[in-house]
Amino acid sequence: MKNTVRTFQMAKEKGEKLTMLTAYDYSTARLMEEAGINAILVGDSLGNTMLGYEDTISVTVEDMIHHGAAVARGTSDTMVVIDMPFMSYQTGTRDALINAGRLMKEGRAGAVKLEGGASVCPQIKAITEAGIPVMAHLGLTPQSVNAFGGNRVQGKTEEAAKKLIEDALAVQEAGAFAVVLECIPEKLAKIVTEKLDIPTIGIGAGAGCDGQILVYQDMLGMFSDYVPKFVKKFANVGDVMKQAFKDYISEVSAGTYPAQEHTFKIDEDVLEKLY
């Protein structure tokens, strides 16, 4: 079944959990679709996991289109959400519309995601009204890492928690079809989830959210620059990969790979003429 904004709304109404993971390439997206994920986020976390940057600040619209289009080619029923990178929407509704349009036309996004609350509501409204579904993102918004002074838990004070609740209501009012809640206390996420009519997708926000998302290299145990507290390693794929690389190196060094079954033959009469 095709996952759309209606799937998200119906899941919230029925109390069924929504599942999301990040992906940045065709092969991974295909595996996730076959596993039955609702939606894939082509996150600007690709700056960290695919490109080796320290943060998401340097990621460009071109990067997002390049990876987004690959994910889109690997999916048919999965909703593909593409992150709007830093400074592709903060500069105003016109820039936001142009860039969201590029992510949909060139990246084949089914929806876009952007970070922020009340301050980006004009952008959310304009993009939504252009026919592009918007996922909002509150709490730890990594594009503001320099303003936060690090990737820190958000919404812990009364003031910050009240602001987050107001922002959540504001992005819903502006037209967002869902909102990511990142790195906030689970009880605050529960309150937000109960107050909103649109689904909340949590990452480091507890089990009370309407859905969950993780960065796929984190949940597969193949990214070790940092491991946030909210990450559960569902497999140790990093270890499996490293062992396979070691086995390959050993076998090539020993001359045991390639074996006969990996080689191509030539007819004896052709071969004779070559000497």
Ligand X SMILES: CC(C)C(=O)C(=O)O
Residue 45 in marked binding region:
yes
Min. distance of Cβ 151 from ligand MHF in angstroms?
Answer: 4
SS3 for the chain is CCCCHHHHHHHHHHCCCEEEEECCCHHHHHHHHHHCCCEEEECCCHHHHCCCCCCCCCCCHHHHHHHHHHHHHCCCCCEEEEECCCCCCCCCHHHHHHHHHHHHHCCCCCEEEEEECHHHHHHHHHHHHCCCCEEEEEECCHHHHHHHCCCCCCCCCHHHHHHHHHHHHHHHHHCCCEEEEECCCHHHHHHHHHHCCCCEEEECCCCCCCEEEECHHHHCCCCCCCCCCCCCCCCCHHHHHHHHHHHHHHHHHHCCCCCHHHCCCCCHHHHHCCC
Name the residue with the smallest CB distance to ligand X.
Answer: 43
| Binding region for ligand X (CB under 6 A) out of 39-47, 159-167, 185-193, 252-260 | 39-47
Binding site for ligand MHF (CB under 6 A): 45, 48-49, 56, 140, 142, 151-153, 183, 215, 217-218, 223, 226, 228-229
Query: How many other C-beta atoms can be found within 10 angstroms of the C-beta atom of residue 256?
Result: 9
In the list 45, 78, 88, 154, the residue contacting ligand X (rule: CB under 6 A) is 45
Min. distance of Cβ 150 from Mg ion in angstroms?
Answer: 16
Active site residue 182: yes
Q: Is position 212 an interface residue for ligand X (rule: CB under 6 A)?
A: no
Residue 44 in marked binding region:
yes
| Binding region for ligand X (CB under 6 A) out of 43-51, 86-94, 122-130, 233-241 | 43-51
Residue 173 in marked binding region:
no
Pairing of strands 39-42, 79-83: parallel
In the list 11, 21, 44, 80, the residue contacting ligand X (rule: CB under 6 A) is 44
Q: Is position 220 an interface residue for ligand X (rule: CB under 6 A)?
A: no
Give whichever of 125 and 137 is closer to ligand X, judged by the CB atom.
Answer: 137
| Binding region for ligand X (CB under 6 A) out of 27-35, 37-45, 94-102, 263-271 | 37-45
Give whichever of 207 and 252 is closer to ligand MHF, judged by the CB atom.
Answer: 207
Q: Which of 54, 62, 182, 268 is catalytic?
A: 182
Q: Are 62 and 84 in contact (CB under 8 A)?
A: no
Positions touching ligand X (CB under 6 A) are 22, 41, 43-45, 83, 137, 180, 182, 203, 213, 215
Active site residues per annotation: 182
- Residue numbers in the known binding site for 3-methyl-2-oxobutanoate are 44-45, 83, 113
